[in-house]
């Protein structure tokens, strides 16, 4: 829906986001039971657990294993009936824009491969996030969504060659060739006029028509699953306004990070920018980091490792 380079991480993030929104339900699940051994006996069933045992967080879905269940089916239905069709519609109608002007057209085989890759990534995102949730790795499950959003932002801001944002606001190759040179603040006017012209183009209209169902359906699914999970867990949720604020903070944070990484790549190269990644990882995924704040603000289950 936002082009090939952006739709692939979107598909992964959508699957992971659907799993994360059902964290209270999925957190109640456990990995498949292992064979009993003298050193590692099979845990007792919660139904027969003693009163002193630690209670399970949330309600477990009525499934066995991480590859089945209504939540995975819901993610695949979203991918097959909403996301993939909207993505293919934009790619087929505007192939130059969808490929960042690298290709003039997309064959039927290209579209089939794109659809298969997107659907596979929806499933992969869900299964990875669900596996982390089952093991109590709530922060790492949230990182799957935040990381996918960061890759999307980097694809738009930097792209494969550093001109991602110029390619994003250019409808086709001819439009990209007309993009004004930007060397100082005096060139901001022509650039702004180019962006405004893009916002009135057929590509922008197609993005609005495709984005409304893709984004709306995903927000609805995640919101309903999250509310059901809060009800199951007896927890108080953040509310619509606060949840929307958290989403806006995440979006703003990944956009600013993508701009910073792009500037670093332009200034010191890929090697220098890669040196920042460990710091970025600690800031997002470490205990008390950005992902932990998101988990807490959305009233997701507490971090707890079963391993």
Q: Which residue ranges make up each domain of the chain?
A: 4-30+61-297
What's the rounded Cα separation, in Å, for the pair 229 and 282? 29
pLDDT at 242 over 50: yes
> Within 10 Å of residue 255's Cβ, how many Cβ atoms?
17
191 CB contacts (<8 Å, ≥6 apart)? 179, 180, 182
Q: What is the per-residue pLDDT across 160-192, written as a single tens digit (0 to 9) for each?
A: 888 899 999 999 999 999 988 877 777 788 889
Task: Kindly write down the DSSP assignment for every residue of 82-97, as one continuous string.
Answer: IIHHHHHHHHHH-HHH
Q: What is the per-residue pLDDT across 25-38, written as a single tens digit (0 to 9) for each?
A: 887 654 444 434 44
Read off the pTM: 0.84
Q: Encode burial over 263-287: b for 16+ CB neighbours within 10 A, e otherwise.
A: ebbeeeeeeebeeeeeeeeeebbee
The average pLDDT across 63-77 equals 73
> Phi and psi at residue 21, in whole multiples of 5°?
-65, -25
What's the rounded Cα separation, in Å, for the pair 1 and 83? 8
The gap from C-alpha 179 to its chain's centroid, in whole angstroms, comes to: 30
């Amino acid at each position: 829906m936002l082009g090939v380079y952006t739709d692939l991480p979107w598909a992964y993030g959508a699957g992971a986001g659907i799993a994360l929104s059902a964290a209270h339900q999925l957190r109640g699940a456990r990995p498949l039971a292992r064979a009993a051994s003298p050193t590692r006996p099979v845990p007792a069933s919660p139904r027969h657990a003693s009163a002193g045992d630690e209670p399970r967080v949330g309600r477990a879905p009525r499934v066995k294993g991480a590859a089945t269940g209504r939540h995975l089916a819901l993610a695949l239905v979203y991918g097959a009936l909403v996301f993939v069709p909207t993505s293919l519609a934009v790619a087929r109608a505007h192939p130059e824009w969808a490929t960042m002007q690298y290709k003039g057209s997309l064959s039927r085989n290209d579209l089939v491969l794109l659809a298969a890759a997107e659907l596979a990534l929806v499933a992969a995102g869900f299964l990875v996030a669900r596996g982390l949730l089952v093991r109590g790795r709530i922060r790492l499950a949230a990182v799957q969504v935040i990381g996918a959003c960061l890759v999307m932002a980097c694809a738009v801001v930097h792209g494969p060659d550093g001109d991602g944002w110029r390619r994003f606001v250019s409808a086709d190759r001819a439009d990209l060739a007309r993009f004004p040179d930007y060397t100082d603040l005096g060139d901001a006017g022509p650039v702004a006029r180019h962006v405004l012209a893009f916002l009135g183009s057929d590509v922008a209209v197609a993005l609005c028509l495709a984005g409304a169902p893709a984004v709306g359906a995903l927000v609805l699914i995640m919101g309903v699953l999250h509310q059901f999970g809060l009800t199951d867990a007896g927890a108080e949720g953040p509310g619509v306004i606060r949840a929307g604020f958290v989403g806006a903070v995440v979006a703003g944070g990944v956009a600013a990070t993508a701009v910073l990484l792009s500037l670093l790549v332009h200034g010191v190269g890929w090697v220098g920018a890669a040196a920042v990644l460990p710091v970025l990882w600690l800031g997002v995924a470490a205990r008390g980091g950005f992902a932990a704040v998101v988990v807490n603000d959305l009233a997701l289950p507490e971090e707890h490792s079963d391993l």
